[in-house]
Chain A
Amino acid sequence: QQQVKQSPQSLIVQKGGISIINCAYENTAFDYFPWYQQFPGKGPALLIAIRPDVSEKKEGRFTISFNKSAKQFSLHIMDSQPGDSATYFCAADNQTGANNLFFGTGTRLTVIP
């Protein structure tokens, strides 16, 4: 059973555009929602994360929007660049409980010049 659902599976965006990736979860015990960026042949790298007590977190060009009532969160990449082309995974964690990460299925982002 997929604990975290992610869409779209792939995304093509023009340079300078906005990339948006969406995730949804069911378990209300989740209290930590990170996004990871993975390049081919590399491990995932923590990009940005949010806790459910805030609705938005911004770090540079990356923003997480969080809707607790809808149990959804999304990653927005502003001014997308070719170097942002990678696979992005959302995840959810119950840090006060089992503390295991549950990953989404991933989104392959391609930013074309």
Chain B
Amino acid sequence: GAVVSQHPSWVICKSGTSVKIECRSLDFQATTMFWYRQFPKQSLMLMATSNEGSKATYEQGVEKDKFLINHASLTLSTLTVTSAHPEDSSFYICSARVGGGKPQHFGDGTRLSIL
């Protein structure tokens, strides 16, 4: 149980394009979803927290206009990297939890490479 699916697993695109990453909770309803960014050999950095039907809460230093997050349903959240540039290349990971006081379950991540 508690499976989180992320799609795509790997995407390569040209500088200036926008990329959308999907995060789905397959067997539970997630009231809260989280988006993380991970650089090679580093820890996970929380980018934003989203609650279903509400605007996302972004961590300090994360550009909300660049990283658009939508959490339209209890099983789907999307992260759109707008006008992506090479410095946005990273491993993006989402997580989801059923509710407060419950553990986070992680997706398998999306490797984003901007050329």
A residues near B (Cβ < 8 Å) are 32, 34, 36, 41-46, 49, 89, 95-96, 99-101, 103-106, 108
Q: Give B residues with C-beta under 8 Å from A.
A: 4, 6, 32, 34, 41-44, 46, 49, 93, 95, 97, 100-109, 111
Please state if A95 and B101 are interface contacts (CB–CB under 8 Å).
yes
Does A43 lie within 8 Å of B6, measured CB to CB?
A: yes
> Can you name the residue of chain A whose Cβ is closest to the Cβ of B4?
A43
Contact of B46 among A36, A100, A105, A108 (CB under 8 A): A100
Alpha-carbon distance A96/B97, docked complex (angstroms): 14
Contacts of B44 in A (CB 8 A): 44, 89, 103
Given contacts A89-B44, A106-B42, contact A42 B108 (CB under 8 A): yes
Q: Which residue on A lies nearest to B59, using beta carbons?
A: A100
B-side contacts of A49, CB under 8 Å: 103
Enumerate chain B residues within 8 angstroms of A103, measured Cβ to Cβ. Answer: 43-44
Q: Is the CB of A43 within 8 A of B93?
A: yes
| Sample (27) of A-B pairs whose CB atoms are under 8 Å apart | A32-B103, A36-B106, A41-B111, A43-B4, A43-B6, A43-B93, A43-B95, A43-B107, A43-B108, A43-B109, A45-B106, A46-B103, A46-B104, A46-B105, A46-B106, A49-B103, A96-B101, A99-B97, A100-B34, A100-B46, A101-B34, A101-B104, A103-B43, A105-B42, A105-B43, A106-B41, A106-B43
Contacts A99-B100, A101-B95 aside, 16 further interface pairs with beta carbons under 8 A come to A32-B103, A34-B103, A41-B108, A42-B108, A42-B109, A43-B4, A43-B6, A43-B95, A95-B102, A96-B100, A96-B101, A99-B97, A100-B46, A103-B44, A106-B41, A106-B43
Kindly state the separation between the CA atoms of A103 and B93 in the bound complex, as whole angstroms. Answer: 14
